[in-house]
Structure 1
């Protein structure tokens, strides 16, 4: 960058210089990284520390593991430092533990000083017997595992959805419809065109409000496998564009380029115009409208643990209220939607039959209303609450709640001597006599 020095180097230096070669540059980078890690090690001193670990594949398809250290430095400030990225041959718990231990051991960071572990919810990480967190706990019983609350919620709600087969089938159909519509730019354009016509009609009839930001033309969003909030966004877009989507599918049935396209569109249209699809669409919209608020709240950077637990408790209360009082309101709303879109309503008092046409296998015959009230509505909410209880009721939650006694906000408002005794006796007996 310095022209005078650059001229001297380029003109007078010997032509066998190697400092621009990739090997030399890698050596320089390696020296710098070692100096940075040595600086971090000096910051830690003799303090206890926590590790945050995650692994992912890079562009060359190699598994890479990132290690972050969290600690209070020698001056009393909380620090979080990216410490190393390590290539691992596989992602078994034993391999990850060995690589982490080696990376820490090279800088004289001992496992017995570890006081916390933070990983995702994969079985190789959180397994109670052979997971990474369990292996470290065997070496240091105070290295408690804490799982990200927002990620916990994603896993909890996704697992709950998979337990009820009719809801699993619904999301499978929803995903297929979204993929079918979004697969072609032409269908995308037809969807936007149908939306413009529908929105103009609804504004003219007063069914939609007008104003800045209202009535924008959107896209049909795909539900994601790991991001629960994307499922809620997909449901919202389907409800908002239901009429437009059916119009596009009808056009595909009539004018599709091939039999396979016409057949696929016909199957999607039949699914969308069924009472079962409409009922579960609006049921999951209500459930996920409640849980989505919790999901967003848990991802706030400034959230403290007591607030997080309050959010979880409030969500469970709202779900309980929905289960006790919400079925009749939901059914009434679904009936209005069915009338609006000319969808055949089943007789609620009729005997329920499964999709095979055979009588539902119960000792006593059940009605259609009983099936939707208890086998779908109540079961879906029950699984949600059950998963929330399972994911947010463990030792780590108690540890974090007790730790709030040391929260310095508002002049140590939450200070509690009993909680500090409990922390020392139950969780940090290695550090206190």
Structure 2
């Protein structure tokens, strides 16, 4: 029983028993397919397969079926892997009612992606993309497409490398922040109480979680005076020449109007989308509420575009005055820092309002409309009308009729 071969055989036997019990739970009824591909530590490409279904007791279940090794991750190869799995387990593609993949082209491609290849065999296997992941891509798109916003986040990354490069610098930030809080409390400017004035640190954001970028910017505002002091210390006392030059460049950048403007703008945008992101990731979130949250977030972005300029400028000017940062007059001619000698023939107001605020917001709204398409929204809305919660409170006869058009064979 300690033989590696025998232990491997036992594990395979257990796996077969578990998968067989899952197939019996599905009971040749309708189900959804969730697939994702990833390389293991030995760089072998493999596909993880999960079934989502409702059992005989009406309980929604997600069950991991297994990992399938594939030679490559092309849509055709992935389709062959799914077909072989279905054939081995005696499952029919006609029973598939939903697909859930990531946003890679080989998975969600409109013409040759895995979802399209399956839809050709079964037109009712609708593809639904994770709302939370779509939202992340909406926010990332702005940083990638808008040059100044991308440049802003690049500078934040450098700032994190310089300030958070050593424990000593982190401690300097914490100590200076503690001193500021103690002075504020002694002068009556800062309130005290349970949960207030907690120790803060300058957090590094995760590349795949744009909600964490919002927390980083919030901390940057809270710790701004302390961070500037640390940069001044690195500039004058640092032993590494590269870090000293970076600190010098960062001090200059942090005191520009551009930095403050994009800081406040991204705080507004990420604040709106972060609230939605947190709500979408709640396990008890229902479909209708999630869709209404997406709709209200889009409306917030429209409102910010129409009426948000004055409040944004007020926040920017307030920050500039509080931290002795560069202020500009909006009616004066805009000077491009990359080409300071060339006339732009536009005012600062036009540049920051039209080319910055409106452009960034238009990108966000366009991405929202592209990512959260109407077909999925309508399908989910119709499905939610059959929810048994609250004695079928959401039941709507017209939505049921529309749902029958999505699934004609079932009805």
TM range, smaller chain:
over 0.9
Q: TM-score, normalised by structure 2?
A: 0.95
Equivalent of residue 259 in structure 2, options 262, 265, 277: 277
The 1:206/1:373 distance shift into structure 2, 3 A limit, reads: farther
Q: Which residue of 1 aligns with 2:235?
A: 253
Residue number in structure 1 paired with 2:323: 341
Q: Does 1:65 align with 2:47?
A: yes
Per-residue Cα deviation, 1:187-236 (whole angstroms, up to 9, x for no partner) = 11222122222222233334432212222222111232221111111111
Alpha-carbon distance in structure 1 between the residues aligned to 2:271 and 2:390:
33
| Among 209, 212, 218, the residue aligned to 2:200 | 218
SS in 2 for 1:261: helix
1:416 Cα shift?
Answer: 2.0
- Paired with 2:96 and 2:14, the residues of 1 have a C-alpha distance of 26
Give the superposed CA RMSD.
1.8
Q: 352-361 vs 161-170, which deviates more?
A: 352-361
Q: Does 1:287 align with 2:266?
A: no
Matched, 1:417 2:397: yes
Deviation string 1:18-75 (CA, Å, 9 cap, x unpaired) is x211111111110111111111111212201111122233333333322111122345
Residues 1:204 and 1:319: Cα distance change in structure 2 (over 3 Å) = farther
2:376 match:
396
Residue in structure 2 matched with residue 111 of structure 1 by the alignment? 93
Distance 1:378 1:360 in 2: 24
Choose 407-416 or 85-94, whichever is displaced more.
85-94
1:35-46 equivalence runs, <5 A? 35-46=17-28
**Residues 114 and 413 (structure 1), Cα distance of their counterparts in 2 relative to 1, 3 Å cut:** same
* Structure 1 stretches of 4+ moved >6 Å: 359-362
Q: Find out whether 1:318 has 2:297 as its counterpart.
A: no
Distance 2:189 2:356 in 1: 30
- 1:95-174 superposed matches below 5 A: 95-174=77-156
2:63 to 81, 105, 109: 81
Is the 2:22–2:63 Cα contact (8 Å) retained in structure 1?
Answer: yes
Tell which deviates more after alignment, 182-191 or 27-36: 182-191
State the alpha-carbon separation in 2 of the partners of residues 360 and 25 from structure 1: 75
Q: CA deviation at 1:359?
A: 6.7
Shift of 1:139: 1.7
Work out which of the residue numbers 328, 331, 349 in structure 2 matches 1:369: 349
Give ranges in structure 1 of 5+ residues lacking alignment.
Answer: 1-18
Does residue 428 (structure 1) correspond to residue 410 (structure 2)? The answer is: no
**Larger radius of gyration between Structure 1 and Structure 2:** 1
Q: Distance in 2 between matches of 1:210 and 1:43?
A: 57
TM-score, with length taken from structure 1: 0.90
- Assess if the C-alpha contact under 8 Å between 1:191 and 1:244 holds in 2: yes
Q: Secondary structure at the match of 2:336?
A: coil
Gaps of 5+ in 2: none
Separation in structure 2 between the aligned mates of residue 56 and residue 279 of structure 1, nearest angstrom? 40
Instruction: Label 1:64 to 1:210 Cα distance change in 2 as closer, same or farther (>3 A).
Output: farther
